[in-house]
C-alpha cells in the first residue's frame, strides 16, 4: 500500500465581514500555545502548520498515511485546530481556492518571498490562491518519472472533481476553478512533456532553472513533480476542497493514478505522448466547467459528458482502487459529486444572485462557507 500525505492551503477571513485577514502569524502562535497547554497524543495529529505566500493563508500537512479513514481524521483534526486558533483572533478558516471577497492582503515576509516579489511584481500581490497538494510514495525517482509520464493526461480530472473557486475578490469569475487560471500565470506552471527517463527529467528541470526565471526548484510549479525532499511524487492540480470528503476522494484517486501508472511503467506500457498544449487545454476546460459540462476524455482527447469521463477514470484506476480497498469509497464519492455538486457549485448556491454591494449578505455567505469547512 502506497502512503499518501496531503497539504491544504487555507484562507483566514474576518469572523464578521468574511474578508481576508492578515493574521497567519497570530493563528500559528495561538495553535502552538494551545498545543503546549494541551499536548495531543503523539499519533493523534502529526504533520505541521505553517505560513504561506500571504499573511491571509496558512498551510497544513498530514503525515504519510495509508488508509482513507486515517487521512480523513487527520484532515479534520488540522482544520479544527486552525478553526480554534483563528477564533481566538477574531477570524475564521475557509477552504476555498480563491478568496470570495476582496480585502487588503499582505505578503508574508521572508528572504525567499521578498525575492519572488521583486522578480514577479504585481502578480505576487494578486496570487491569493489555495491548492490541495497530494504526495504519493514512489519506490524511487526512476519510477516517479515513469509515473509522471503516464498520469499527466488524467490530472485535469482531479481539478474538475476539486473545483472550488468560482468567486474571486468579490467578482463572479464564471469559472468553477478560477484558482487554476491564476496558477497558470506562473511561467513554470502547467503540464510537463513526456520525458522517458530520470536523466531527461533532471535535464528538463535544470533547463528551466538555467533560464533564471524560477528562483529555485521549489518554483517548478508543474501539474506534478518529484518531491525535492521526500521519496514522493507531488500532484498539485487540485483546488483546496470545501468538503473534507472531497479532499479524501482526490487523494484516493491520486494514489490510484500513481499505482496504475507505476504498474504500466513496470510492464513497459508506453506513455501516451499527448502534447503538453493539449493537456493544458484539458486543464482549462476542467477549470472552466468543473463537473457542470463536458470534459476532455483522456483516452480519445475528445469532449465528452463529465459523467462519462469520470467513468473512464474509474475504469482506468479500478484495479488499483480494488487492491487498496478504496473502490467503493471512490465510486460513491464520484456519484455524490455528480449528484450534489462540487465545492464550486456549493459556493454558487450561497453566493450567486447576491448584490456585490450588499456587504452583509456576502459576509453571511462566506461565514456559512467557513462553517462547511469544518462541519460546524
Q: Which tens digit of pLDDT belongs to each residue from 162-213?
A: 999 999 999 999 999 999 999 999 999 999 999 999 999 999 999 999 999 9
> Under a CB-based contact definition with an 8 Å cutoff, are residues 152 and 224 in contact?
yes
In a domain, 362, yes or no: no
- Grid coordinates 482513507 are at which residue? 68
Residue 279 lies in a domain: yes
Whether 265 is covered by a domain: the verdict is yes
* 184 within domain boundaries: yes
CATH assignment at residue 208? 3.30.590.20
What residues of the chain score a pLDDT lower than 70? 39-45, 376
Q: What is the pTM of this model?
A: 0.96
Residue 374 domain-assigned (yes or no)? no
The residues, ordered by sequence, that sit 6+ positions from 42 with a Cβ below 8 Å of its Cβ are none
Closest CA to 103 of 372, 278, 363: 363
Strand (E) or helix (H) holding 108? none
| Confidence at residue 34, expressed as pLDDT on a 0 to 100 scale | 84
Q: State which residues form the domain around 167.
A: 4-351
Does residue 359 sit within a domain?
no
pLDDT of residue 296: 98
- Positive or negative, the Cα torsion across 66, 68, 72, 75? positive
Helix (H, G, I), strand (E, B) or coil at 210: helix
Tell whether 343 is covered by a domain: yes
Helical (H) or strand (E) element with 10: strand 4-14
What is the domain count for the chain? 1
pLDDT at 42: 44
Rounded Cα–Cα distance for residues 199 and 30 (Å): 45
Q: How far is CA 346 from the centre of its chain?
A: 17
Amino acid at each position: 500500500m502506497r502512503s499518501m500525505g496531503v497539504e491544504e492551503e487555507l484562507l483566514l477571513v474576518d469572523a464578521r465581514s468574511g474578508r481576508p485577514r492578515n493574521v497567519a502569524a497570530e493563528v500559528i502562535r495561538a495553535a502552538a500555545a494551545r498545543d503546549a497547554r494541551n499536548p495531543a497524543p503523539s499519533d493523534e495529529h502529526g504533520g505541521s502548520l505553517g505560513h504561506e505566500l500571504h499573511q491571509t493563508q496558512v498551510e497544513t500537512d498530514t503525515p504519510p498515511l495509508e488508509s482513507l479513514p486515517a487521512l480523513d481524521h487527520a484532515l479534520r483534526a488540522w482544520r479544527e485546530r486552525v478553526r480554534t486558533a483563528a477564533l481566538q483572533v477574531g477570524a475564521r478558516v475557509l477552504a476555498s481556492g480563491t478568496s470570495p471577497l476582496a480585502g487588503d492582503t499582505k505578503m508574508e515576509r521572508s528572504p525567499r518571498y521578498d525575492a519572488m516579489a521583486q522578480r514577479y511584481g504585481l502578480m505576487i500581490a494578486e496570487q491569493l490562491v489555495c491548492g490541495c497538494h497530494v504526495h504519493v510514495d514512489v519506490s524511487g525517482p526512476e519510477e516517479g518519472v515513469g509515473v509522471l509520464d503516464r498520469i499527466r493526461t488524467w490530472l485535469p480530472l482531479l481539478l474538475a472533481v476539486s473545483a472550488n473557486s468560482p468567486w474571486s475578490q468579490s467578482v463572479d469569475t464564471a469559472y468553477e476553478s478560477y484558482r487554476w487560471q491564476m496558477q497558470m500565470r506562473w511561467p513554470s506552471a502547467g503540464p510537463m512533456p513526456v520525458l522517458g527517463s530520470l536523466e531527461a527529467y533532471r535535464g528538463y528541470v535544470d533547463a528551466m532553472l538555467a533560464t533564471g526565471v524560477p528562483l529555485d526548484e521549489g518554483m517548478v510549479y508543474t501539474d506534478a513533480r518529484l518531491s525535492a525532499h521526500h521519496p514522493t511524487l507531488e500532484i498539485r492540480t487540485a483546488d483546496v476542497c470545501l468538503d473534507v470528503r472531497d479532499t479524501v476522494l482526490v487523494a484516493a484517486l491520486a494514489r490510484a493514478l500513481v499505482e496504475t501508472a507505476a504498474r504500466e511503467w513496470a510492464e513497459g506500457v508506453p506513455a501516451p505522448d499527448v502534447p503538453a498544449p493539449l493537456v493544458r487545454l484539458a486543464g482549462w476546460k476542467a477549470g472552466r466547467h468543473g463537473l457542470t459540462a463536458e470534459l476532455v476524455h483522456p483516452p480519445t482527447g475528445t469532449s465528452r459528458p463529465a459523467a462519462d469521463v469520470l467513468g473512464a477514470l474509474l475504469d482506468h484506476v479500478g484495479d488499483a482502487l480494488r487492491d487498496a480497498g478504496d473502490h467503493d469509497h471512490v465510486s460513491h464519492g464520484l456519484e455524490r459529486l455528480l449528484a450534489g455538486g462540487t465545492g464550486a457549485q456549493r459556493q454558487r448556491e450561497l453566493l450567486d444572485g447576491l448584490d456585490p454591494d450588499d456587504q452583509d449578505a456576502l459576509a453571511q455567505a462566506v461565514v456559512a462557507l467557513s462553517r462547511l469547512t469544518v462541519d460546524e
